[in-house]
Amino acid sequence: MNTNKKVCGCCQTAKAPAQFHKSPLSSGQFLPICKLCCKDKLKAYTEITSSESAAFWLVLSELGVPFIKEVWDNFQAFKATATASTDLIMAYLRTLSESGIKVDGFWQSDVMLDMLMDSVVDRDVEREELDLDEQQKIWGKFMSDGKLDVEAYQFLNETFEDYAKDLYDMDTNLEKRYRDLAKAELVKRKADESGDIQEIDRAQKSLKNILDMLKLTDFQSNQISDEKRAFEYNVSLVENFRPAECEQLQEYLDKVGYEKDKAILMRSIRNSVAETREYPDIPKEYR
């Protein structure tokens, strides 16, 4: 084989080095997949994901080159003037090189693939799979032009998911309230579309009442400090993994920490869960 040629890791064809992109990882080296295969992969991944950024992420992952948000944003300015014949992968690599960022590998990527995927793709799939009988049981009957309003059910599901996506262990009552909130959003949307001022006002008041009840309008009251979040997480460990704490109590205490302002509460939890009898010393003046 001609030693001046390099074999593409995709098409397994020996090609001249000029047919490969220069590697940003090592001077004088080339990336493992040829330019033509990179172009074909980018096109295929774009069709599959319906997202150019996700397609880039996938191609770069195979090349071992990181997808960096700052570089991607700078690359957009160049791409706006690109023609059909422009090698976009080469353009991204050039932007990466000009950024001055030292490149060590794909692990430097600061964006996850699911952050780049077009949510419309997932929601289109959900829309195709809507079971209208089941939707009526969940939401009630919503009609439009004498037929079940499929668009309304789609809106209700998407709105509910958006509101509830960060909630865990939602009980039945809370789930109902969030579904009421989704319905209120739908009523507000339809009122806005009608242009009826009175209907819009009623819909806004109804929506605000539910938001207030769920404390979604009080931004400050919904904020949890990192300290409290960490403390609550450690308390949950006691509730869900009792054997580990009972058998390795000292290790557990080391992980939980023993802050003075939490000592009373943590001691009571340990006594309850580990069936110990740990109490603070009684001051001398009270003995």
233-278 pLDDT per residue, tens: 565 555 555 444 455 555 555 555 544 455 556 666 666 666 677 6
- The predicted-structure confidence for 134-192, as pLDDT tens digits, reads as follows 888 889 998 888 888 888 888 898 888 888 876 766 778 888 888 999 999 999 888 88
Pure H helices in the chain:
35-49, 52-63, 69-79, 88-99, 113-116, 119-128, 132-139, 150-164, 172-194, 197-213, 226-240, 242-247, 249-256, 263-274
Least-confidence region, from 36-40, 56-60, 125-129: 125-129
Q: Give the integer Cα–Cα distance in Å for 155 and 188.
A: 12
The pLDDT score that the predictor gives to residue 175 is 86
pLDDT-based confidence at residue 226 (cuts at 50, 70, 90): low
Q: To 10 degrees, the CA torsion angle through 198, 200, 204, 206? A: 70
Average pLDDT estimate for 100-108 = 89
Give the angle 32-37-42 at the CA atoms, nearest 5°.
110
Tokens encoding 103: 């490149």
Q: What is the pTM of this model?
A: 0.43
In which residue are the tokens 């997808």 written? 67
What confidence score (pLDDT) does residue 234 get? 62
pLDDT of residue 281: 64
Provide the pLDDT confidence category of residue 92 given band limits of 50, 70 and 90: very high
Q: Which residue has the higher pLDDT, 54 or 123?
A: 54
Average pLDDT, the chain: 78
With a pLDDT cut of 90, the percent of the chain lying above it is 21
Is the predicted pLDDT of residue 227 greater than 70, yes or no?
no
